Chain A
């Protein structure tokens, strides 16, 4: 039996989800209309399948659980998530993966502004964000660690792979971009390089997952070349106000 969200308040819907998850490992929520905080801090071994438009802070603080969204996400999907998986069959709003610390997010289509803002990594915790289409401005802003993969599939004529101020203040992690990208939108202090064998292995794994989740042809995706964007320095603003 699935939970019907309809026009109910978010606290009530989240309460129903929590109760169901006490006795089962998977719940389905239907007719979602902007209810916030769905899947907040969901633990490993638990899955929530969502149909509709999920509200802000979907899967925030995700703690190893799995979120399947059939519809679009709004702002701050995966906010400060610490592990687990989010798979979105649609697009996402602003600030996707905000301060993400571990786990994986797969977006079939595009993300709006500030995708992957301040993602970070620590030892074995390495967050990954895979975007099928393109990204708005400020992709990877203040990025401190982790990996963003931007595939540029199904882009319309005249659309760009990412908007202005890409990787502004980035000081860690890496962004893999597929095909042509607008160099003029890239922030200063960002290096463009070819992928090492180790990079290719990493990329391969996540592209395969993307293709599996969204029924894409892996060979076709890999037929275009990838480049790697990394910060030149870990302290891009060291001399912003003083010379030493």
Chain B
């Protein structure tokens, strides 16, 4: 095998996303078309998608997508799940044979509600109960990885090029109001199924192009609150940061984005008093959540879509809007291939996070 320095692969990760603000459904083939145009940005060691609104018939149940590496892991993980949740459906996720994807784990999904007796005894609220169950399995059950744990949404990922991963999971059979996608070019960490993007906890999912140089500072900060970084890659920490800031601290998504990408002190010095106080407070309170390094990140959630760039703008990210839809991609051509004539196209700047809220109310239990 060629070593570092002996081979040059002209590559960097690719990310893409589409949202229909009014909740209109978009077929999976669209996002595959967009991400596959950026084929050369990934190297076949990871591809994945997150889709929101795909399980309307189970919309009030948690959808767990799980990789099992062996029978024992499968059996032990199921025992745990059946004890802590009331599971309605347990099934293999339908996949199709694709030549380039092999040696994968056994991939299952479970739909279910929390076991209320256990939850009450644990004195945790529902979100916390679910997060702790997921963390427990991923950290303590060797060979079992819950890679998707939201409601009415799901992540699909594998080792392979993203277009092959989309074909493998037959994503043209799913319709979603929000899609994100990722093509991976792993640099510092191994390419394995769990390490492909998106990373998910509850309804949050992250796709990321770049590198988190503040990873250890962020990991130390977030692990104080019970999270465990188990996926052998830097990106998962961003997922937990958002979950923590939004769910535990109740910050709006755009404020959470300002925490992660807060401006430099000399820029803060030049701001008007109100803004200066706002950013000074954010940096003082959340210094451990400040994310540094070159990155472009897209956060998917059932509330909408958030796109951020690092404050020095070291990764490319283009945005576009057309009618009710907003599009994001590492390259403009990947937007234009599915939206040839957008109303507006712009490059997301490091200083201005873009939040596209979903404008439909998430219906509570009827």
Binding site for B on A (CB under 8 A): 7, 10, 32-34, 36, 52-53, 55-56, 72, 74-75, 91, 93-94, 112-114, 136-138, 163-164, 184
Docked-complex contact A136 and B332, CB < 8 angstroms: no
Docked-complex contact A136 and B333, CB < 8 angstroms: no
Question: What residues on B are CB-neighbors of A74 within 8 Å?
Answer: 316, 331-333
Docked-complex contact B38 and A164, CB < 8 angstroms: no
Docked-complex contact A53 and B332, CB < 8 angstroms: yes
Docked-complex contact A36 and B40, CB < 8 angstroms: yes
Interface-central residue, A53, A93, A94, A136, by most chain B CB under 10 Å: A53
Question: What residues on A are CB-neighbors of B268 within 8 Å?
Answer: none
Interface-central residue, A33, A113, A138, A164, by most chain B CB under 10 Å: A164
Question: What residues on B are CB-neighbors of A56 within 8 Å?
Answer: 331
Q: Which chain B residue shows the least CB distance to A36?
A: B40
Docked-complex contact A33 and B316, CB < 8 angstroms: no
Question: What residues on B are CB-neighbors of A52 within 8 Å?
Answer: 333
Known contacts A10-B40, A56-B331, A94-B316; A112 and B347 CB within 8 A of each other: yes
Shortest CB-to-CB span from A169 to chain B, Å, is 13
Q: For chain B, which range describes its interface: under 10, 10 to 19, 20 to 34, or 35 or more residues?
A: 20 to 34
B290-332 Cβ-contact flags toward A at 8 Å (1 or 0): 0000000000000000000000110010100000000000011
Docked-complex contact B347 and A94, CB < 8 angstroms: yes
Docked-complex contact A72 and B313, CB < 8 angstroms: no
Quick one: which of B254-313 are within 8 Å of A by CB?
267, 270, 312-313
Question: What residues on A are CB-neighbors of B38 within 8 Å?
Answer: 34
18 example contacts (A-B, Cβ-Cβ < 8 A) are as follows A7-B37, A32-B333, A33-B333, A34-B37, A34-B332, A34-B337, A55-B333, A56-B331, A72-B345, A74-B332, A74-B333, A93-B318, A93-B331, A93-B332, A113-B347, A137-B349, A163-B351, A164-B351
B350 CB within 8 Å of chain A = yes
B334 CB within 8 Å of chain A = yes
Question: What residues on B are CB-neighbors of A33 within 8 Å?
Answer: 37, 333, 336-337
Interface-central residue, B270, B312, B333, B349, by most chain A CB under 10 Å: B333
Known contacts A33-B337, A36-B40; A94 and B331 CB within 8 A of each other: no
Docked-complex contact B349 and A113, CB < 8 angstroms: yes
Question: What residues on B are CB-neighbors of A138 within 8 Å?
Answer: 312-313
Known contacts A10-B40, A36-B40, A184-B270; A93 and B316 CB within 8 A of each other: yes
CB-CB nearest 8 A-B residue pairs: A34-B333, A112-B347, A53-B333, A113-B313, A33-B333, A53-B336, A94-B316, A75-B316
Q: How far is the CA of A91 from the CA of B313 in the complex (A)?
A: 18
Docked-complex contact B313 and A137, CB < 8 angstroms: yes
Q: How far is the CA of A32 from the CA of B334 in the complex (A)?
A: 11
Shortest CB-to-CB span from B273 to chain A, Å, is 16
Question: What residues on A are CB-neighbors of B347 within 8 Å?
Answer: 93-94, 112-113, 136
